[in-house]
Amino acid sequence: MNFIFSSCGNVSVALMQWAIENLSGETFVVYSNTGWEAPFWHERVDEIKIYAEKNGLKFVTIESEGMEALVRRKKGWPMAASKFQFCSDELKVRPAREWMLEVDPDLKGKCFTGIRREESEHRKDAPSFIRQSERHGGRDLFCPLVNFKTEQRNELIKKTGIEILPYPSMECFPCINSNRSNFRMLSNYPDIIDHIEKIENEMGYTRNGKKRTMFRPYRHMGAVGIREVVEWSLCSRGKYKKPDLENEQLSFMPCSSGFCGF
């Protein structure tokens, strides 16, 4: 039994195609529903599901409590690139582990993710194999595309006929690791901004009198709250300025869970 972890982003499609060409036996494509996806994302998920099933794979969507309920339960937002980035664990890792335990109680299944070293500095030393991965419930984890370059990834995607996206997975929109271009995209969705702002307002303030916002002001030139963060993303550099953080490349690190964004 094989488990292909998929965010339905580009490399997930490549990994699915790799699995079709290289794996045998019962193979699941496992997608996590974070309840926080972009409004258009379900069309992409549906397309991948159809392709997977047409090629003999089983597509499974794992449900979770959803981002909003999680944030309200925790009384705070996950913090990007910190030990408080609990969203991937709570919305994906734990629900997936629980589901796998039902279908694979003997832990004989193999897990696969599409992580690539080329994707970021943060992933440059990513292993190709982890024996008894804790995040995968003690099953072995394989990362067969770890040394793939973008061109090799794209060659696999092209075989599927599925679009190569110019942005990362939109399974969470916005993701807490969003960068400026993601916020610019978000500016086209005023309803989502309104919704996040409403949650932020209802979450109140910390003991230190700081507003509980989805994105930390010091990483976004002092912008407080989702509306200001999106406004900052649309400004020329320098607005909401914090002098030592002008280079946003230094400010953002991709999620390290191995479950998100690819």
C-beta closer to ligand SF4: residue 78 or 137: 78
Task: Determine how β-strand 2-6 pairs with β-strand 27-32.
Answer: parallel
Regarding 88 and contact with ligand SF4 (CB under 6 A), the answer is: yes
Tell which one of 95, 109, 114, 261 touches ligand SF4 (CB under 6 A).
Answer: 261
CA atoms within 13 A of residue 84's CA, in its CB half-sphere:
11
What phi and psi, each to the nearest 5 degrees, are found at residue 91?
-95, -20
Q: Does 45 bind ligand SF4 (CB under 6 A)?
A: no
Out of 4, 13, 20, 91, point to the residue binding ligand SF4 (CB under 6 A).
Answer: 91
Whether residue 172 contacts residue 179, with contact meaning beta carbons closer than 8 Å, is answered with no
Span of 84-92, 107-115, 135-143, 144-152 interacting with ligand SF4 by CB under 6 A: 84-92
Q: Which of 233, 255, 258, 262 binds ligand SF4 (CB under 6 A)?
A: 255
Using rule CB under 6 A, residue 104 touches ligand SF4: no
Q: Are 219 and 82 in contact (CB under 8 A)?
A: no
Determine the Cα–Cα distance for residues 241 and 108; give it in Å rounded to an integer.
Answer: 52
Q: For residues 144 and 168, which CB has a smaller minimum distance to ligand SF4 in the complex?
A: 168
**Cβ at position 151, least distance to ligand SF4 in Å:** 25
Cα–Cα distance, 128 to 170 (Å, whole number): 25
253 vs 250: CA distance, rounded Å: 8
> Does the footprint of ligand SF4 cover residue 171 (CB under 6 A)?
yes
Q: Which stretch binds ligand SF4 (CB under 6 A): 87-95, 199-207, 208-216, 224-232?
A: 87-95
Identity (one letter) of the amino acid at 95?
A: P
Torsion angle (degrees, nearest 10) of CA 149, 153, 154, 159 = 150
Q: Which of 52, 100, 146, 175 binds ligand SF4 (CB under 6 A)?
A: 175
List interacting residues with ligand SF4 (CB under 6 A): 34, 78, 87-88, 91-92, 171-172, 175-177, 255, 260-261
